[in-house]
Amino acid sequence: MSLKTLFGRRSTDTDTAARTAPATAGRPADGEVLLETVGLTKAYAGADGELPVLSGIDLQVQAGEIVALLGKSGSGKSTLLRCLAGLLPPSSGTVSYRSAPLTGANPGTAMVFQTFALLPWLTVQQNVELGLEARGVSPQERAEAAVRAIDLIGLDGFESAYPKELSGGMRQRVGFARALVVEPDVLMMDEPFSALDVLTAENLRGELMELWDSGQFPTRAVVLVTHNIEEAVMMADRIVVLGSRPYGTIRETVEVALERPRDRDSAAFDELVDRVYRIMTGRPKETRLPGRSEAVRLDKRTVANTPLPTASVDGLSGLAEMIAHRGNRCDLADLADELGLDIDDMLPQVDALDLLGFAEISGDDLLLTDTGTAFAGADVQKSKTIFASAALEVPLVKLITNSLRGKPDATVRAGFFRDLLAHHYTSEQVERQLETATDWGRYAELFSYDSAPQEYRLDENADLPR
């Protein structure tokens, strides 16, 4: 694609001097704070009142930087992005653009969506112009700006095409052009590559980074939402890792000082991926302290602070067996690589093994505990027994089992657990956790679940002392 661009001058820019740095000067990294959140909290209305999704978020986005918001699914990345864009009001705390608290849509941002969000009845040119129409730009200027954006992003020749005639990659280019055409101070991207196939995503990522590095990008900062660690390390100057235990908070911020363009095969790149991975898989500090006795650690677990990861018994057993085959210990990044998986696709299984006491995270490695080794090597009956005693240490499984044991008819409606969990989690999180608990409880032969009356029933074997 031609990187020759007409974006050096801004026809609609009557703004500050800082915005009109010549294209040849590279990215203007004057450090001006463009976006800022202070004590941002966001809660959605749930079955049981307000459920916090984000809590205590203090974040700044400065001119000249690409900031990645990285986290597992459900950690509140999109919510944070929408708050920054002024599309969602905070529940408490403030969001400001150039020091002015937002009262509505952020005038300094434009958004690229995972699903492209194009209007099918409009051509590429018309879709791109759309962004400007809303801002009252004259038709003549609109057309010119759209052509510039279309050229910049490699869509020349597609101006009169309709979205349905385009490949996914080309459609997302339209998404980019539509956002860039307004020359926003901050370009917001919500998992912009995750609906594309691997090669297309890689190609588009590369082109965008080339534009950014060459200073031709008509925006001063970028906020990228992603669940892909490598993508974050590839693109960002700063990675903000969001954790969701139980509410979305900033777990840690990682500066990425790697030279651009970045070399995915370098040791430094690998090291950083491993480090970020460790942060994402990290337990809260207190449960990681060595020397702390197992009993105290387990005692502190509650349904509220120990959500069940979305990992089936099959999935976590599969991972345990793979680690066992590698000598009970392996580097997670390498394993993911071998399997052709995104490293974060394995996080729920890793969490599950850890939660069950089958594995521990040590540095970049995952190592099986003695129990985990026994579990991986056991025949079905034996593995069920091992699994059952481990699962009974998991608060939600224990809660369900003990509740059933306390009932004369040994049954409890799912709604009972749903209500209890609703105090701490969103309804989606509640459903996912109940599904996992059901899978684990069934395998362990602790309890069964009947979906018609939505009832849990104690397994006959579960009454035996364990």
Residue ranges in contact with ligand ADP by CB under 6 A: 44, 53, 71, 73-79, 426, 428-429
Residue closer to Mg ion (CB basis): 60 or 73: 73
Q: How many CA atoms lie within 13 A of 138 on its CB side?
A: 4
Residue closer to ligand ADP (CB basis): 241 or 462: 241
Radius of gyration, alpha carbons of the chain: 25
74 binds, among ligand ADP, Mg ion, none (CB under 5 to 8 A by kind): ligand ADP
Residues in contact with Mg ion, counted by CB under 5 A, come to a total of 1
Residue closer to ligand ADP (CB basis): 225 or 350: 225
Residue closer to ligand ADP (CB basis): 426 or 438: 426
CB of 57 to ligand ADP, least distance (A): 12
CB of 79 to ligand ADP, least distance (A): 3
228 binds, among ligand ADP, Mg ion, none (CB under 5 to 8 A by kind): none
53 binds, among Mg ion, ligand ADP, none (CB under 5 to 8 A by kind): ligand ADP
CB of 56 to ligand ADP, least distance (A): 15
3-class DSSP string for the chain: CCCCCCCCCCCCCCCCHHHHCCHHHCCCCCCCEEEEEEEEEEEEEECCEEEEEEEEEEEEEECCCEEEEECCCCCCHHHHHHHHCCCCCCCEEEEEECCEECCCCCCCEEEECCCCCCCCCCCHHHHHHHHHHCCCCCHHHHHHHHHHHHHHCCCCCCCCCCHHHCCHHHHHHHHHHHHHCCCCCEEEEECCCCCCCHHHHHHHHHHHHHHHHCCCCCCCEEEEEECCHHHHHHHCCEEEEEEECCCEEEEEEEECCCCCCCCCCCHHHHHHHHHHHHHHHCCCHHHCCCCCCHHHHHHCCCCCCCCCCCCCHHHHHHHHHHHHHCCCEEEHHHHHHHHCCCHHHHHHHHHHHHHCCCEEEECCEEEECHHHHHHHHCCHHHHHHHHHHHHCCCHHHHHHHHHHHCCCCCEEEHHHHHHHHHCCCCHHHHHHHHHHHHHHHHHCCCEEEECCCCEEEECHHHHCCC
CB of 454 to ligand ADP, least distance (A): 21
Q: Which stretch binds Mg ion (CB under 5 A): 73-81, 122-130, 208-216, 378-386?
A: 73-81
- 172 in contact with Mg ion (CB under 5 A): no
Report the distance separating Cα 276 and Cα 282, nearest Å. Answer: 10
287 binds, among ligand ADP, Mg ion, none (CB under 5 to 8 A by kind): none
Residue closer to ligand ADP (CB basis): 193 or 212: 193
Residue closer to ligand ADP (CB basis): 80 or 128: 80
- 438 in contact with Mg ion (CB under 5 A): no
CB of 40 to Mg ion, least distance (A): 17
Residue closer to ligand ADP (CB basis): 160 or 305: 305
CB of 78 to Mg ion, least distance (A): 3
CB of 74 to ligand ADP, least distance (A): 4
75 binds, among ligand ADP, Mg ion, none (CB under 5 to 8 A by kind): ligand ADP
403 binds, among ligand ADP, Mg ion, none (CB under 5 to 8 A by kind): none
219 binds, among Mg ion, ligand ADP, none (CB under 5 to 8 A by kind): none
Residue nearest to Mg ion (CB): 78
Residue closer to ligand ADP (CB basis): 81 or 132: 81
- 78 in contact with Mg ion (CB under 5 A): yes
Q: How many CA atoms lie within 13 A of 372 on its CB side?
A: 29
Residue closer to ligand ADP (CB basis): 47 or 296: 47
- 228 in contact with Mg ion (CB under 5 A): no
CB of 442 to ligand ADP, least distance (A): 25
76 binds, among ligand ADP, Mg ion, none (CB under 5 to 8 A by kind): ligand ADP
Q: Kindly list the residues in this chain that would bind Mg ion in the complex (CB under 5 A).
A: 78
